[in-house]
């Protein structure tokens, strides 16, 4: 089983990027072919054998990763599995690639694997990095309904069947959009606690566009993927959750601005999931209303 890796970077973490690439090169088994995409920035010198693409402008996370996918042929068809790794992450073990090969080979229905993200200093996995509602035990592997964008592996047949990440999302919820389409096509998603990416503990709200993008893309996600009956339920639940978290007035203003934008702007093609997929998501522990 042939593996490739896509790393998206803004070019502002050259030391971390080099450490990540070194950790990929140390993986057991056949070498993992790597493509580094410079998202609107020039790339620093990189190890020999690493392929590079420099985009003239920042096109956002999903569009940048899609460029990396296509670097491996249409839908990534030159390889069997693609790893997506944050440029400030690091694979502490040398067996991650081999564990991926074994997992996909053993389960033909498995389409996506979400790795466990752990802080390199404390070993702590943030609750938000466990892609399920029951997130108190990050060391428990399970089937899940979404995955982590900068620490995952995807069977390239998934891209060829359901398409890539939604370019226009730019940042936030693009993984869930792909996950729902993959699940609707019959694929499964696993969270694997034994496949670890070291990554410094951060808060998503550090991004200036966080609150607007989260709200706008949440609306787009629902409009694109949910049966019409569930769209207002899903968005109503998230509105109540947002208010319950008592964000600052500035954050709430940005959130409502993004929420309105999500209704007023095109969301891309609408392909509502089947009701049996809704039931499938519910059986997996996360009905698509939360």
Cβ partners under 8 Å of residue 236, min gap 6 = none
Position 202 confidence tier, pLDDT thresholds 50, 70, 90: confident
The sign of the torsion formed by the CA atoms of 9, 44, 159, 164 equals positive
Structural domain contains residue 7: yes
Count other C-beta atoms under 10 Å from residue 29's C-beta.
15
In terms of domains, do 245 and 170 share one?
A: no
Read off the pLDDT of residues 148-192 as tens digits, 9 standing for 90 and up. Answer: 999 999 999 999 999 999 999 999 999 999 999 999 999 999 999
DSSP of 177-229, one letter per residue?
HHHHHHHHTT-EEEEEEEEEEE-----GGGSTTHHHHHHHHHHHHHHHHS-GG
- Res 209 pLDDT > 90: no
* 289 within some domain: no
- Per the prediction, the chain carries an average pLDDT of 96
How far apart are alpha carbons 232 and 245 in whole angstroms?
20
Among the candidates 180, 198, 216, a domain finishes at 198
**Mean per-residue pLDDT, 24-47:** 97
Q: Residue 82: name the closest of 194, 25, 7 by CA.
A: 7
User: Is the Cβ–Cβ distance between 85 and 5 less than 8 Å?
Assistant: yes
Q: What is the CATH number of the domain that holds 139?
A: 3.90.550.10
Same domain for 148 and 221, yes or no, is no
Instruction: Based on the fold, state whether residues 58 and 91 are members of the same structural domain.
Output: yes
pLDDT of residue 73: 98
Total structural domains within the chain: 2
What integer pLDDT is reported at residue 206 of this predicted model?
Answer: 53
Q: What is the pLDDT of residue 207?
A: 54
Domain that holds residue 52: 3-198
pLDDT tens for residues 86-120? Answer: 999 999 999 999 999 999 999 999 999 999 999 99
Q: Are residues 113 and 229 in the same domain?
A: no
- pLDDT more than 90, % of the chain: 96
Q: Is the domain of 216 the same as that of 261?
A: yes
Please, which pLDDT band fits residue 205 given cuts at 50, 70 and 90?
A: low
Same domain, 85 and 149: yes
> Could you tell me if 267 and 248 lie in one domain?
yes
Is 290 part of a structural domain of the chain? no
251 and 135 inside one domain? no
């Amino acid at each position: 089983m042939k593996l490739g890796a896509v790393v998206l970077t803004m070019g502002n973490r050259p030391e971390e990027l080099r450490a990540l690439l070194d950790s990929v090169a140390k993986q057991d088994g056949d070498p993992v072919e790597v493509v580094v995409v410079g998202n609107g920035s020039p790339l620093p010198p990189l190890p020999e054998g690493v392929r590079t693409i420099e985009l003239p402008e920042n096109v956002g996370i999903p569009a940048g990763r899609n460029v990396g996918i296509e670097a491996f042929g249409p839908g990534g068809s030159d390889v069997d599995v693609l790893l997506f790794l944050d440029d400030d992450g690091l694979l502490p073990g040398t067996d991650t690639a081999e564990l991926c090969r074994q997992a996909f080979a053993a389960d033909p229905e498995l389409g996506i694997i979400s790795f466990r993200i752990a802080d390199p200093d404390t070993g702590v996995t943030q609750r938000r990095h466990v892609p399920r509602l029951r997130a108190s035990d990050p060391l428990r592997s399970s089937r899940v309904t979404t995955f982590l964008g900068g620490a995952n592996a995807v069977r390239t047949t998934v891209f060829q069947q359901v398409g890539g990440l939604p370019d226009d999302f730019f940042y936030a919820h693009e993984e869930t959009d792909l996950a729902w389409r993959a699940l609707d096509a019959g694929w499964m998603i696993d969270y694997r606690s034994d496949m670890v990416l070291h990554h410094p503990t951060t808060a998503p709200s550090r991004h200036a566009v966080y609150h607007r993008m989260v709200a706008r893309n949440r609306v787009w996600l629902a409009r694109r993927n949910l049966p019409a009956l569930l769209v207002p339920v899903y968005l109503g639940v998230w509105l109540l959750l947002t208010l319950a978290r008592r964000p600052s007035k500035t954050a709430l203003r940005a959130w409502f601005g993004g929420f309105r934008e999500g209704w007023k702007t095109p969301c891309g093609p609408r392909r509502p999931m089947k009701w049996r997929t809704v039931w499938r998501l519910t059986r997996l522990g996360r009905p698509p209303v939360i």
